[in-house]
Structure 1
């Protein structure tokens, strides 16, 4: 009997010795239970965990060192607090499944992890900087997901990294300088990266960077250039461009760079010199003509004038001197005028009240820049100045007006002040470049928030925020129509920038259509353009209302106007799609599933805004309401959104909602 007990005890001890700790077994079971899967794994409680499919233990079978489940039909979000319990894990492969959401945060607490293979899934959001905690990591594969945002500089903390695969995502911004001495395999192709390729990464082949149309520098064939070329005569030593602005030593800058006051003084001095030269020229010519009329030029006067008798040679000498001096003065005046005109052409012009900025053209040339996007009027860049300020520089294309018309246009727009408009701060006009400078708004546009990171890994824009965005857009356009009698001409979600104050979302790119030649090359203009608008240079108040209506539909449906379709025919027309859904009755199928999932008691308000939107996108322009009426209708939808003007708003210059939004 004693011998039997000893045998059973030995078997139990042997079994325990071949089984990883219970917490690791529980972590695996929790992972499998929380992740839907299409295949049966056979992870039975009666079977040792080291014998489970995809599980590899160490030689002593004391801990799990590898979990490989590629292409096994895993679906959904990886449950938090599960895989992070595998403290001895060295290899994790979940590639080629249908996992979504953020990259699981508890993976970054695995101190021994050497290889992480998550490619071929649906992960979204940014690459977490916490990845740098995996100091033992040698292989990281996140390719072919839906990851967005920048490539984190924190990857420099992975000193043992040998391969980094980030290709086939939606990563944006510039590449950081990754100084990883052991890195042998690197790939960021088929993303949305921009700027110059850092020198530390230029050793990899061009295929590693292919598909990023705005990347430049070695090893690609696209050389990097400044984000706008310098004007003739502008210093370019160390001029910044592309992904990172190079700077000259401070001592050189102090020698070469003139302050704003100095530039202004030189321009004023040149103008004054030109004016004085012209005055002297006029006086000399007038005096010469008067003397000729009195017979005093070319001969000696018969009668002394005021008791003065010039020498016989004086009159001839005076005539020669006058002629010579006139020519010299004319040449000097011409040179001074040309110098003044050149100084005027090469300077930035600050609009309205400005924003306390004190930079000049040379500062912009030296700025580090990254592409924010390309629109119908030009390309926008985020420019970080050496002094630390961040601005947005819009490089206008195909401007068709003269310098005088350009200046007059922005002089008048400088008087436009409203909390729902992003003011123009600076403009620049030369033969080769036309630039606009605006404030940088870190929160981004309505379009980026609604569509930038679709999926489960993003923060959903709730109904209250969408309603306030709609009201801000309507108030801004109504103010433009009623107070300034101007059409916006480019109302869309990417031109509505979100601020910390939810009622102060700001419209950008307004009233720029007058600067460009008429065009009908874009038949639908991304789905916002009114059907009757043939000439893009001549939008109307009613076409602005149509664009507002499309923006409201975008807020309600969560669909981008440029991607909606009707009956699979590829027609890009969000209003038609909505009409096809609600033709029979007002149905919840039209609303964004994210709004429906949030629930709440906003259905009546959503239906009411839908009715306003459908009125705005009426085919006949005369059937559309005026923007002032649109504002009133939105304010009446919910008392929580259509608040009255407070004393604080009046102090900021915001007109009452009843008259001017």
Structure 2
């Protein structure tokens, strides 16, 4: 399910769990009606309207369409169709609002403060401006005529005729006898015990708070309690944003036999969720997001036979998740931003509509074999691996049967005897030939003897092993550039050193290597690059001749027909990708740091483009994982110019003009900027992220794209929007700016930020 669909369902469900009467004629939840009462102490007081609500596909990024079914006299409501002026809605709407805001804030404000200067009902607007007293009398007349019959339209009222409703024919929940109880005493006591453990604070002083043994949760309408339509049993408990603290007494609340929904979102509740949750047999929705819950998720939660939605995000839950593979009814599981560990258990991913476990400490492979959810659902778990993640899982060797192993071993033994025999025969012939040659040429140069001796030294082959023919050739030797880190490094040292695979991509692999007697270095191994040794050497020397403090230099390289090896200094602080999506290790990455990093990278790229323009050598593969952080947290670009350009547009691959050659770097830098601003990981060269940002900006909800920590810290929205505009210019494939222009624009934003910080200092 897409994000708008999930939001739509949650908002409609929240509205249905409120005190409003909601009528949903279809299962798609995109069109429904709500009973709305006129605001108290206004000319509309006492009126009851049926309000039609239509949700667009892009909700909440597009505002709902609302209209009054029965007539209302108002300047901004069309008298015939009942539609509310779209301009009025759009000016007030924000994606941060939900459907409750329409009926608790927007509509009351609309009725209390009409805008006659932008009317849909000209008569109402004209009358309001000319004679307000007469206007108010007209409003009351409409209320009395069209809105005093429980929301019936004028047509419905005319058809129904007069009705004689005697006292015996009509009752409502308000007519219940005070003190009468419909729930069992044991259930009421359990609910009171449940609330006693939550510490409600000042809200318990509210006159209609309830939650005591002397009243009934249904007939007394306890706050947060929703009963069935007959007011006989508790169905939902919704206690959101009430600053509740204390602990969750799940044992008590599960004594409510017919409980369907338990929602405690956005409070300050601590403790854990006990195994007694399995007693909530009918529970379908569990919402615990935005609290301080900790400890394990109990295994018994997987035994709930009817549970559809589990939302436990933004808490402090830890340890491993239970196995949800047999929880067949589950549609939503959101557990991002916790401290969960261990391997991910299996879920019915094909059935799930929403799934997110980002920003935890899970490890191992992602069990979503179908790829039903993208990398965003698993981001921020550095030890997870999978096809859609930045870290690929190591290939597991298939287990063979013992019999097959026995057969293979026997085969190996026989083959070994054959090989040994052949080697012995070859050695015998070679020695005989050597003796014949020696008799003809008794003198042998010392250098040849030394080289022959060296070639016989046996050592284990490493990841960087090449054929002896290649390693012996003069053109394939290790070239060490000026660096104290690898001073005296030889190719043989790399062969002997242990190598740890730390990254793999379509262009090659990355290894962390620690040579004897030296510190760690990084070796980039590139295979199948169709470039001659001489051309590769010239390319490396040209790149080495251009130095910039924010570009990580190659300190040594090796070239053969099959592969190329590039050696770099190891950077202990990791990459920008890890800082954004993995563990920050206590490092601050606020708006100022992000803007400064963007400026440094842009300046470095612009410098490299200028110096290497004549040689047509761009970076070619810029991304957040190739931007490393030095000891002082200054960024440095790694792997500059190591491969041919990876064009996202096939139409560009034959165009080798200077503009096109360097345009790919500008485009990729724009994606890095979007990653910095949104905090979202990049897939497929960033095209999906760029499309999403562009669509949100087009709908004029620009603030929605920014990373939440930036909004929380109060970063300058003006300068964030400025950097976003730079990013969108960069990802524009038709006419992107040059890196020099990009660097100048970002430098200007940085100067504005610094001036702002200086002026705000006391």
Q: Provide the TM-score with structure 2 as the length reference.
A: 0.44
Structure ranking higher on relative contact order (CA contacts 8 Å, 6+ apart)? 1
